[in-house]
Chains A and B, each alone.
Chain A
């Protein structure tokens, strides 16, 4: 690269797409180097949409190291309408303090979203994970606002094609592969462009 270009690139007037705008508080270490290098960890105070290509590929396990870290905090880790029983022995083995976990079952879809919003907004949760039956653009807006207010890690899971395509969610990640070879595609992130798919490798022991 020529010296002239080099000088130009080092002046503050030039913004380079590869530099992520620094956004708010430091991320929560995910436990995966590739993830932390690209995204700076899980973002507290920003809503994350996780799209799992299918069930059983480690889509929950990718979060467990971060949840284990967060559970050292006095705050709750709220699981709202998980599709199955969050299995206590597995969470415990991953290092999550069960005394911080609270599971919420809401029969009606509106109640589930309400619970998520309350948990996110209250500031008494370090992480809120939701499995909403439906998600609308308006609901995402509300949840994002609540996430900012409570400075909580807010994650909701959807299936491919279930969430609205245009939505104000700041982070959208798609999880593929299998549990011992997890691949995360960053479809959308705050303050940054595209990134190559992240290979996290084995997210759990099998």
Chain B
């Protein structure tokens, strides 16, 4: 077993900053009667504000401060969102409150190309998610957690080295009462190593079993089962925006974070999304739905974001949005792709589908279609608009023009003969088409191929019903 601890040291402030940077510098306070600063943004830190300072002192330094009370439920929400994202690296992820995730990566090393490669991928991807992270790797979950918390960004793979590192960590890593820390300090015990070297029964008598238990679990001398995070059956993630937003780019910035979470969720399920729904919650209480449909399931964050961008640019945004929610109502299993040196047909089809999706996202679904044949003698019913890529059975080998008019156009007559840019000469025909008496669109026509003096060739017909009128139906272009 090998555990990677992903610690989010700035979570209290990042819980407010994920969706974008607010106008005024943000600080997070403990709340209550005499609020203290718990965390502050870089801009506030530059002005001299520090953690532990009272809020009134901070206001004195920076009057335009934007102070928010710490929101632990939002932090928990962030942790769970991050856990969802982390599922792309391993199936075993645990949330370690208040600010960390534990990933069992022993089984993932090979897939990601070794420990270093995996760590750098985790790091890079986490920063896109909007969090500062500290990473440590150890054979025990608690060991990894302590190393990360103490900003010892080390990767330890065996227990001897782990013990060596843990011995030097301060006792404040332990989860204990303030009183216990005070008495340890009075005893001159500063590090885990010093504490571990004391006689066990004396420590137990004085502090109870709890402290030694923690050290034993951290060293791997005592089992430390972790509760695995189980993803919800349906993906839905919400992000409140720091201030109401009406620009598509700002919305996309926030949506990007949610798309990355979705990617983790989909990797864990080995699935791709078929339909994406982005709900924009407006200031006035209304909501705008942005829906993207895909023809082939995908979990490529870049592709999904591109589709959302196109769709958003075509959507009339009804005012400013306060929060966004991303949902994946339609998810399908993704065929595992084998590594191949030759582009295979399935891959080509997938590539093809992205073009259709991209065009549809901007132009609308109906603006892009394929063609299929339909066994009907009436020319206007002999073809259908179809989903691009649909196979169709060949029809009878009849001579037909490359262009068909949407609606037959009545031809003028000159001396009883049809004209189109001059008199038309019949060069072939008639081909009699009689059909459709059963559905009310019945057709009784004689079709001819005709040419005018300038050489243009047309497909025309004469109504066999009473009128005997001539119509243009196609162009031999």
CB of B475 within 8 A of CB of A85, answer no
**Which of B45-53, B124-132, B400-408 binds A?**
B400-408
With A54-B456, A57-B456 known to touch, is A88 a contact of B373 (CB < 8 Å)? yes
**Chain A residues whose C-beta falls within 8 Å of the C-beta of B399 in the assembled complex:** 93, 205-206
Q: State which of B368, B379, B449, B475 has its C-beta within 8 Å of the C-beta of A55.
A: B475
Contact B457 A179 (CB under 8 A): yes
Cβ contacts under 8 Å, B355 to chain A: 76, 118-119, 122, 124-125
The answer to the question of B395 belonging to the interface, with a C-beta cut-off of 8 Å to chain A, is yes
**A88 to B398, Cβ gap below 8 A?**
no
Stretch from A7-15, A39-47, A59-67 contacting the other chain = A59-67
Residues of chain B within 8 A of A83, CB atoms compared: 403
Contact A99 B363 (CB under 8 A): no
User: Which B-chain residue is minimally distant from A62 (CB atoms)?
Assistant: B477
Q: Is residue B427 within 8 Å, beta carbon to beta carbon, of the partner chain?
A: yes
Give the residue name and chain of the A residue nearest to B382 (CB). A89
Instruction: Report the nearest B residue to A175, measured CB to CB.
Output: B477
CB pair B401 A90 closer than 8 Å: yes
CA distance A39 to B384 in the complex (A): 36
| The residue from A58, A105, A181 contacting B363, defined by CB atoms under 8 A apart | A105
A91 interface residue (CB < 8 Å to B): yes
Counting chain A residues whose Cβ lies within 8 A of the other chain, the interface size class is: 35 or more
- Interface majority SS on A: helix, strand, loop or mixed? mixed
Quick check: B370 and A103 within 8 Å, CB to CB?
A: yes
Q: Is A101 an interface residue (CB 8 A)?
A: yes
Q: A74-B349, A75-B348 are in contact. Are A98 and B367 (CB under 8 A)?
A: no
Q: Which of B352, B370, B383, B388 touches A87 (beta carbons < 8 Å)?
A: B383
B397 CB–A CB distance under 8 Å: yes
* A144 CB–B CB distance under 8 Å: no
**Contact assessment for B390 and A99 in the assembled complex, using a CB-CB cutoff below 8 Å:** yes
What chain B residues lie within 8 Å of A91 (beta carbons)?
Answer: 371, 402
Which residues of the partner chain B approach A102 to less than 8 Å between Cβ atoms? 356, 368-370, 388
| B23 at the A interface (CB under 8 A) | no
Tell me, in angstroms, the Cα distance from A205 to B428 when the chains sit together: 11
Given contacts A115-B363, A119-B355, A58 and B404 within 8 Å (CB-CB): no
Q: How far is the CB of B54 from chain A (nearest CB, A)?
A: 56
B38 nearest CB across to chain A (Å) = 49
Indicate whether A194 reaches chain B with its CB closer than 8 angstroms: no
Say how far B395's CB is from chain A's closest CB, in angstroms. 6
Minimum CB–CB distance from A175 to chain B (whole Å) comes to 10
Interchain CA distance A101-B397 in the complex, whole Å = 19
A134 at the interface (CB under 8 A from B): no
For A92, list chain B residues within 8 Å (CB).
373, 392, 394-395
Give chain B residues whose Cβ lies under 8 Å from the Cβ of A52. 477
Q: Is A106 an interface residue (CB 8 A)?
A: yes
> Which listed residue, A60, A84, A111, A178, touches B451 by the CB 8 Å rule?
A178
Asked whether B395 lies within 8 Å of A89 as measured between CB atoms, the reply is yes
**How does the 8 Å CB contact mask read for B212-249 relative to A, with 1 for contact and 0 for none?**
00000000000000000000000000000000000000
Q: How far is the CB of A183 from chain B (nearest CB, A)?
A: 10
Q: Range of interface residues on chain B?
A: 35 or more
A90 in contact with B451 (CB, 8 Å): no
**Docked pose: A114 CA to B313 CA in angstroms:** 14
Query: What is the chain B residue whose CB lies nearest that of A121?
Result: B355
The answer to whether the Cβ of B455 comes within 8 Å of any Cβ in the partner chain is yes
A60 touching B392, Cβ below 8 Å: no
A104 on the B face (CB < 8 A): yes
Chain B positions within 8 Å of A168 at CB level: none
Q: B383's closest neighbor in chain A, by CB?
A: A88
| Residue B297 is within 8 A (CB to CB) of chain A in the complex | no
Residue interface bits B428-462, CB-to-A below 8 A is 1, else 0 = 10000000000000000000010100111110000
- Please give, as numbers and ranges, the residues of chain B lying within 8 Å of A118 by CB-CB distance: 355, 358-359
In the bound complex, residues from chain A placing their C-beta under 8 Å from that of B372 are: 88, 98
- Name B373-421 residues within 8 Å CB distance of A: 373, 379, 382-385, 388-392, 394-395, 397-406, 421
Q: Does A86 contact B (CB under 8 A)?
A: yes
User: Counting CB contacts under 8 A, is B108 at the interface?
Assistant: no
CA distance A194 to B366 in the complex (A): 43
How near does chain B come to A179, taking the closest CB pair, in angstroms? 5
Q: Mark interface residues in B455-477 (1 if CB within 8 Å of A CB, else 0).
A: 11110000000000000001111
* B96 adjacent to chain A (CB < 8 Å): no
Contact B345 A74 (CB under 8 A): yes
Q: List 24 A-B contacts (CB under 8 A).
A: A54-B421, A55-B475, A56-B475, A60-B477, A61-B476, A74-B352, A75-B352, A84-B474, A85-B406, A86-B403, A88-B371, A88-B373, A89-B383, A91-B402, A99-B390, A99-B391, A101-B388, A103-B370, A104-B368, A118-B355, A122-B351, A124-B348, A178-B455, A178-B456
Task: Identify 13 new A-B residue pairs, CB closer than 8 A, beyond the known A84-B474, A85-B404, A90-B402.
Answer: A54-B456, A55-B475, A61-B476, A85-B405, A86-B371, A88-B372, A88-B384, A89-B383, A92-B394, A99-B389, A179-B455, A181-B455, A206-B476
10 closest Cβ pairs, A-B complex = A178-B455, A56-B456, A88-B383, A84-B403, A74-B348, A90-B400, A87-B404, A88-B371, A85-B404, A102-B388
